[in-house]
Amino acid sequence: MVDPTSDLEEDVDEESAPRCVTCGEPALGSGRRTVTWVEGDDAVHRHFCSQACRSDWADERPSAER
């Protein structure tokens, strides 16, 4: 089943897939993770090939104002 909220449909190959920001491998399949946040007027995305790479990421998101 294709996730209708994702731009990564079933026919995405390794060449056109986003790269994991931690290891550089294609971020594909069921282990893929994405972190999204808003900076100003832009949505910023970081893609990961696995939860392990997501956990190893040096989080660059701005802190929430409190």
Domains of the chain: total: 1
Within a domain: residue 62? no
Rounded Cα distance between 33 and 23, Å, is 13
Within a domain: residue 42? yes
H, E, C per residue of the chain: CCCCCCCCCCCCCCCCCCECCCCCCECCCCCCEEEEEEECCEEEEEEECCHHHHHHCCCCCCCCCC
Q: Is the pTM of this model over 0.85?
A: no
Instruction: Over range 9-18, report the average pLDDT.
Output: 76
Rounded Cα distance between 26 and 37, Å, is 21
Within a domain: residue 66? no
What's residue 8's pLDDT?
54
Within a domain: residue 9? no
Tokens of 51: 């939860």
Task: Tell me the per-residue pLDDT of 15-63, one tens digit each, with 9 for 90 and over.
Answer: 888 999 999 999 988 889 999 999 999 999 999 999 999 999 999 898 7
Q: How confident is the model at residue 1 (pLDDT cuts 50, 70, 90)?
A: very low
